[in-house]
Amino acid sequence: MDSNPFRPERPTAPAPHPRLRLGAFVCALLAAATFGCIGPRHDAAGQPGANGDLRISGGAATLAASQPAAADELQVHFIDVGTGDCIWIHTGDDGIAGNGRLDGLNIIIDGGDNGSFGRIDGYTPASDYLATLLPPGTPIECLILTHPHSDHCGGLVGFLEDYPVRTILDPGFDKTEPGQLPDRLRPKTAYGRFCKTAGTEVDANGTPATFVRGIPDGFTLNWGAELAPKILWSSTEIVDDDLNNVSIVLRLRFTGAGNDAAFLFTGDAEHAVEEQLIASLGDGLKSTVLKAGHHGSNSSTTVSFLERVRPAHVVISSGNQPFGEVRLPRTDTFERIRLVSESLGLGTKLWRTDRDDKEPLLKPVGTEGGDDTVVVRTRGKASDLRIAYAGEETPQLVDATRCQALTQAGMQCKRGPKAGSTFCWQHQDANP
């Protein structure tokens, strides 16, 4: 019996691909909503099914991830690297050099583990997935380490070795054990290897990469005029006695009238950080897609945080590595998401990179990556956001002349839009 009430139904997925093997992946469309807003930094959608499952509406239209993206389309890929995080963001590309927008940039957030102690080498499934989508040698605009735990920094060494990177961000906390060198100077630690490699990185022009250790006040990111990335949190000091809380928290929203899609990337930030973000930002945290903190642990994704973020979609990046006597994500986390979704009428959908890692059989640690990557595409509006597991099928809006709303059956509305709107009279008020 499936004990997880938020386990999405899973069609048969393709097997993991060998390293650098060509392949095509599929991503898809569902509607979501949010409002864009940013805030300060700390220095130093459908309804659940009758049985409680979060379901994806039916439909057969597909869109290959390897198919050329629209010039104004943002892609966010939450890559299945087992226990750990690895996210690839690709901005739209209008093919016009020097205009400062839609420059086709690539951003990497975290890289999974380094393969020690029998854990999965996160860069292996990541590079398998990206082999044709982001071939080695492609310039990376920004590579972000959220915090120096091995399941986030371990695989980043592979990215630094195979890709030219322009800017590297690191919260700057350096753990030091009594009588030992700081971790950044210890080449046998995951963080030490990352720092050593980052310190010698050069970009596509052969210029040394900008390595920012410790995010300074007023630090800004420029990923094109169509986007407004904002670091909401980063700390060079331990908060609430937990290394997870130095995590860089990033919110990415679209600029321009009518654009309301936003993403919130939280690393492993826990409730202490969530509380401070709520206090400083409040409803400014609202985001269409939330990457849940700390792999779905009870230490993160609190009710009060969810009430402020109001996500249409929650992505949990997790695997099989046991933490004490438990494996993440926690059932209590699913319950909090469900309760907030129901109380606020959000219709939140849950997406997991570990769907088949534990049931019906538990996969051995180190073998669980590569088959549950979550892909999001949007041109900036909540109505055009598409999200699906790579390689699977889900509805896709294809007729731009019709109302852009989805019906309860998950199909595109057949009415024509009102003048000056992308929605018909019936759906316009629900999609301001």
Please report, as a single letter, which amino acid is at residue 204: A
159-170 pLDDT, tens per residue? 999 999 999 999
Q: How many domains does the chain have?
A: 2
Over residues 236-241, mean pLDDT: 95
The number of beta carbons lying within 10 Å of the beta carbon of residue 219 is 14
Residue 381 included in any domain: yes
DSSP 8-state assignment for residue 415: S
pLDDT above 60 for 394: no
In sign, the C-alpha dihedral spanning 218, 163, 121, 370 is positive
- Residue 195 phi/psi, 5-degree rounding, is -65, -40
Contact indicator for 145, 152 with CB cutoff of 8 Å: yes
Structure tokens at 194: 């990352």
Interior angle at CA 302, CA 142 and CA 251, nearest 5: 25
Q: Is the pLDDT of residue 42 over 80?
A: no
pLDDT score recorded for residue 405 = 82
| Together in a domain, 313 and 426 | no
323-341: pLDDT as tens digits: 878 899 999 999 999 999 9
For residues 251 and 375, state if they share a domain.
yes
DSSP secondary structure code for residue 15 in this structure: P
As a whole-number percent, the residues of the chain with pLDDT over 70 amount to: 81
DSSP 242-306: BGGGG--EEEEEE-STT---EEEE-TT--HHHHHHHHHHHGGGG--SEEE-GGGG-TTSS-HHHH
Handedness of CA 200, 204, 210, 215 (dihedral sign): negative
- In this prediction, residue 406 carries a pLDDT of 75
- Do 182 and 293 fall within a single domain? yes
Nearest one of 174, 184, 296 to 238, comparing CA atoms: 174
Residue 14 has pLDDT above 80, yes or no: no
Inter-residue contact 146 to 109 (CB < 8 Å): yes
Residues 286, 418: one domain? Answer: no
Task: Please report which confidence band the pLDDT of residue 209 belongs to, taking 50, 70 and 90 as the band edges.
Answer: very high
Q: 3-class DSSP state for residue 407?
A: coil
Do the domain assignments include residue 382? yes
What is the torsional sign of CA 289, 293, 295, 301? Answer: negative
pLDDT for position 357: 93
Residue in 364, 307, 353 with CA at minimum distance from that of residue 328: 353
Tell me the three state secondary structure of residue 334.
helix
Nearest Cα to 47, choosing from 338, 412, 306? 338
- Range from 32-36, 50-54, 207-211, 387-391 that averages highest in pLDDT: 207-211
Q: Are residues 365 and 420 in the same domain?
A: no
Residue 21, domain member (yes or no)? no
Residue 219 shares a structural domain with residue 281: yes
| Pair (299, 418) in one structural domain | no
Residue 16 domain-assigned? no
What gap in Å lies between CA 146 and CA 215, rounded to an integer?
A: 11
- The strand pair at 313-316 and 289-291 is best described as parallel
> Are 304 and 337 found together in one domain?
yes
Same domain membership, residue 411 and residue 383 = no
In order of 78, 114, 227, 286, 379, the CA distances from 157 in angstroms are 18, 8, 27, 33, 31
| Alpha-carbon span 327 to 285, nearest angstrom | 28
Q: Give 246-273 pLDDT, tens digit per residue.
A: 999 999 999 999 999 999 999 999 999 9
In one-letter notation, the amino acid at residue 248 is I
**Per-residue confidence (pLDDT) for residue 68, from 0 to 100:** 53
Model confidence at 182: pLDDT above 90 = no
Q: Can you tell me the distance from the alpha carbon of 358 to that of 253, in angstroms, rounded to the nearest whole number? A: 34
Task: pLDDT band for 408, please (50, 70, 90 cuts).
Answer: low
- Is the confidence at residue 404, as pLDDT, over 50? yes
Whether 235 and 289 map to the same domain: the answer is yes
Residue that the structure tokens 């009710």 belong to: 303
Query: Does a structural domain hold residue 226?
Result: yes
pLDDT band, very low/low/confident/very high, at 410 (cuts 50, 70, 90):
low
Does residue 398 form part of some domain? no
Are 168 and 212 within 8 A, CB to CB?
yes
Q: How far apart are CA 339 and CA 332, in angstroms?
A: 10
Which region among 8-17, 152-161, 177-186 has the lowest average model confidence (pLDDT)?
Answer: 8-17
CATH number at residue 140: 3.60.15.10
Please determine, for residue 290, whether its predicted confidence score (pLDDT) is greater than 90: yes
Same domain (yes/no): 57, 192 = yes
For residue 111, pLDDT over 70 is answered with yes
pLDDT tens per residue across span 343-358: 999 999 999 999 989 9
Asked if the model's pLDDT at residue 158 lies above 90, the reply is yes
Backbone angles phi, psi at 25, to 5 degrees: -125, 160
Residue 157 within any structural domain of the chain? yes
C-alpha span between 413 and 417 (Å, rounded): 10
Q: What band does 19 get if pLDDT is binned at 50, 70 and 90? A: very low
Question: How far separated are the first and last CA of the chain, in Å rounded?
Answer: 42
Q: What tokens does 419 get?
A: 């003048």
The answer to whether residue 44 is domain-embedded is: yes
Residue 346 sits in the same domain as residue 413: no
pLDDT of residue 69: 66
Which domain covers residue 428, as residue numbers? 403-432
Q: What is the pLDDT of residue 26?
A: 31
For residue 340, the surrounding DSSP H or E stretch is helix 331-344
Place of tokens 């997406």: 351
- Residue-wise pLDDT tens digits, 67-97: 456 789 999 999 999 999 999 999 999 999 9
